[in-house]
Amino acid sequence: MTDESSALLGRSVHRQIRQMVLAGELAPGRPLSVPALATQLGVSRSPVREAVQQLIYEGLAVSAPHAGAKVAAVDDAQIREVLAVRAVLDGLAAAAAATRLTEADLDKLASIIAAQEANLDDATDAARDAQLDLEFHTFLRDASGNSCLSEELARLEAKAHLYRGDLWCSARNRRVALREHRRIVEALESGHAESARAAAEAHVHGLLTRLDRA
Ligand SMILES: [Zn+2]
């Protein structure tokens, strides 16, 4: 295999395992067995081993001495820490994105929101709901044009979704989060950086308030 194709395979294996973790298919605390994952994904062990190392670096997995890696768990105290940092960085990303987004970008954000709205009356599907929320925030942080900020936020967003409460998926929380997402998009459409920052911060503060109520 050439260096380039092995790098491509490595990225794809990492993406697949990360997706399984974020969808809860590999739940917090579950061991990340390299041989088992390699068999499941039909690849050799070495890209899986690298992907697991990458997940540890991202904070989505932890390694225990002599016990291999397992999916990280995020408790009540940790989710609050993650969200406190996210509030500031999400605000920064939205402010930067406000002056950069094209019409096509705004259409893309509107289509993610439409997909979230279409699911409102359906039963909770944690994997689908997490995926749509991540899609919204991934698009926004990448649109900030700041790769350092985007990288930090990628870690924090993923980590936040390891929290297993009903924060992301109860019907009520999904409805309120959708309203907050819509306010972010409206602020972005206006092109005002400060309004976008405020709307993005308000969304994360809303998540913190919903945690307190749970
Ligand atoms: Zn959100």
In CATH, what number is assigned to the domain containing residue 149?
1.20.120.530
Ligand 1 center–CA 190 separation, angstroms: 20
Phi, psi at residue 70, to the nearest 5°? -135, 160
Ligand 1 center–CA 101 separation, angstroms: 18
In CATH, what number is assigned to the domain containing residue 12?
1.10.10.10
92 and 110 belong to one structural domain: yes
141 with 171: CB under 8 angstroms?
no
63 and 7 belong to one structural domain: yes
Our count of domains for the chain comes to: 2
**Domain boundary, last residue among 47, 71, 95:** 71
pLDDT given at position 204 = 96
Q: Is the pLDDT of residue 8 over 90?
A: no
158 and 131 belong to one structural domain: yes
Domain with 187 in it: 76-212
Ligand 1 center–CA 12 separation, angstroms: 25
The answer to which of 6-15, 41-50, 75-84, 94-103 has the lowest mean pLDDT is 6-15
Report the C-alpha gap between 61 and 69 in whole angstroms.
6
In this predicted model, what pLDDT tens digit does every residue of 46-92 receive, in sequence order? 999 999 999 998 889 999 777 789 999 999 999 999 999 999 999 99
Mode of pairing for the β-strands spanning 68-71 and 61-64 = antiparallel
131 with 23: CB under 8 angstroms?
yes
Ligand 1 center–CA 18 separation, angstroms: 19
45, two tokens: 């062990």
Ligand 1 center–CA 186 separation, angstroms: 14
Mode of pairing for the β-strands spanning 31-32 and 61-64 = unpaired
| pTM, to two decimals | 0.85
- Averaged pLDDT score across all residues of the chain: 91
84 and 54 belong to one structural domain: no
Report the C-alpha gap between 106 and 162 in whole angstroms.
28
87 and 24 belong to one structural domain: no
